[in-house]
Structure 1
Amino acid sequence: MIDLNDWPIMARLILVMGAFIIGLPGPLILAFLVLGKDYDVARSGIRSNPFIESMKQVRREKSFKGRWMFICMLAGLVTFPKFALRRGMLDPDELKRFPSRLKIKLAVAAWLTLLGCVWIVVAYVLILLSEAR
């Protein structure tokens, strides 16, 4: 079995801190997008998705929290569009017209956040397995 107590201290620190080093830039990128000029471009970029349109209507998006939730949903939609495209909830031409720089920023933020979360789960499981011994 895996015993983390046998690992060097630097390896244990990398295991624990790596998740935060990889995962935190994702939400920071999204926060800069929410607070910057790119938010208005992102908001007007997708109009064919009914859920995104309803979120624009329901949330007035004056608060940081509302804007944050919207940009996170949009990052997921732009990064992983296959489900929405298959169900006809997103126009493929609209996705192609979405600004490529913004699409890259959203995708990088989504992937960094996802990788950080997976890393935390793996580190947690390794710690649990080493304590079980």
Structure 2
Amino acid sequence: MRVTEPAAVLRAIAKHRDFNEANAVDTFGYTLLILAASKGMSQVCHAILDRDDFVGVNAQDKWGATALHWAADQDLANVCEKILSHPEFVEGNRRAWSFAFEDKTALDVALHRNCKAAAEVIRRHVGPPK
């Protein structure tokens, strides 16, 4: 029996032409992009961000955290770059107030967690911490 990595399965689902839940949001405000970023699944994040029908790049959970916060938390610099470069993205300095992020921006999160690659990408796009 061949065992497939869960991220590979999720990536294949997210890329499939019949998949129509790229913009789904649960009761906590979590999107597929937020969940993938929070689990460090950069390839799944890229598959979602590459979809023409994806419109949730600015989505935030009920605590104000975005996929950028979670990508910063996981040091997913390439995902941070893709989010920040997305033509519809406008939330670079949003503060999340959850227990996980304690009133921090994504850059604050990256710096606090010592995620240097993500911090550099975010700093390049949004400037130094305020």
Ranked by relative contact order (alpha carbons within 8 Å, sequence separation 6 or more), the top structure is: 1
Q: TM-score, normalised by structure 2?
A: 0.23
Q: TM-score, normalised by structure 1?
A: 0.23
- Larger helix share, 1 or 2: 1
